[in-house]
Each structure stands twice: as C-alpha cells, then as structure tokens.
Amino acid sequence: MIAALSLLLALAGCGAGTDGTPRAQAVNGSMATQASSSKPSPGDPAATASAQASGRTTSLFFGDSYIIGGAYTGPQNSMGAIAARRLGWKYQIRGGGGTGFVAGNPDYHIPSFLGQIRQGALDVGRVDWLVIEGGCNDKDHDPALVTRQAVRTLTAAAKRHPEARLVLVGTMDPTIDGFTDTDGVIGALAAAAQRLGIPYIDAQHWLEGHPELIGPDYDHPTPAGHRLCGRKLARALAALQ
C-alpha cells in the first residue's frame, strides 16, 4: 500500500530529489528493546535511567533526509546513524525526504511528520531516546505555523513514546547561500521546544565554513559532511545524558 510504503522512503532531496527517485529505506541499527515502564515527562533525564542501569541504550531518530540520509548518503551513513554508533546506542531511523513539521512530499505521497506518526512511523517498540530533526523543508512557511505544527507533532511523539527522552534538532543549513533563509524556522522550532520543555539542539551552523562538505545540489551534505554533523550530534546528545 502507498501509505505504508511512504513511511519507509528516504528521498534524494531535503526537498525534491535530483532525479525524483527513492534512494533508501528506513534502517534499523538493531531492534529496539524494552526500557522503563515509567512515564516521565518529555525531556526528563529519568527516561533513560533504566537503560543506563540495565544495558545498552535504545534510540529512534526521525526526520527528513538530513537525519536519515539522502542524495549522496544512505541511512547507515547518515548523521543520525553516525551519532548513534558513536554513542554506542542501538538505533532505528525513520522518516522521509522532502517532509517536515508542515511540509509533506506529494510526489511520493508522504505526509508531514504528524501524518507519518499517525501512520505508524514511530511504532518500533520502546526506546530510551527519541530524536526528531527537521525544518529544512518548512523554511518557506510562516514561523508561527511551524511552531504550532511542531508542538502538535512533538506532543504526538511524546504520547507514542512516554518512556523516551524526547529531543528536537533544528535543521542544519548547508551554508552555500547564507543562513537568513533558515533563521525563521530555527526560531520557530526553538519556540516549540521551549513551550514543551524539551531539549533543543540547534544544528543550523554545523557546516559553516565547510562548503566542500556540501554536494553538487547545494543542499545535501556529502558523506564527509554527514560524518562531521554526526560527530556534533553525538556530542550534543552526550551532553544531555
């Protein structure tokens, strides 16, 4: 079914792909295992206590092509997968290229993040960390709308995984054309995280000064760019442990 398959698509672009074809599927670094049965509030460090006490931490990364890989990088070498491996976490990666908190990808029948969640994108079993990244494809939308939709999306994610530490990652900007085009969405997502009281990681400037780490489409990181962003994401997440 189209609806089911759409959850697994990682397209070639943060927006549209260079050739319009799917490039990857959702990837499991390993199967998630059961964590604590307690239900702390989103972003509560207590959410990871049982994992730290009983074994390897489990995680789910969800977002657009920046977190799942796209254009020049597959899911296993995306910044999300790289960060998880550096942290020693078991991980699963879900999401779709060209989508966001407001944006869907009609060319491939992929809804916005909230629609994907409603279709089961986060239904992977219990996890200790739920990392949601996005915003690239929402940068042309009204920031107030982005904030509202982000709050709705993050609230739905927290209900799906009350056991998890929920973290929001604001979009990386490829820097080729400066940062002003993503200032609005970065502020909108920061406001959503503040409203919900969850940690917010601002990735906007992670590739600043490194145009060589952006691919020929001027949009997506090269494999080396994903490695750099993966290291920075791992450090940011480690600081929250």
Q: What is the mean pLDDT of residues 8-34?
A: 37
- Number of residues that this document lists for the chain: 241
Residue 14's pLDDT band (boundaries 50, 70, 90)? low
The residue that leads in pLDDT, 52 or 78, is 78
Burial profile 1-26: b = 16 or more Cβ within 10 angstroms, e = fewer: eeeeebbbbbbbbbbbbbeeebbbeb
pLDDT score, position 42: 44
Least confident of 18-22, 76-80, 193-197: 18-22
Q: Count the neighbouring beta carbons within 10 Å of the beta carbon of residue 99.
A: 29
Q: What digits encode the pLDDT tens for the residues 198-233?
A: 999 999 999 998 999 999 988 899 999 999 999 999
Tokens of 108: 């491939």
| pLDDT averaged over every residue in the chain | 82
pLDDT score, position 53: 45
* pTM, to two decimals: 0.81
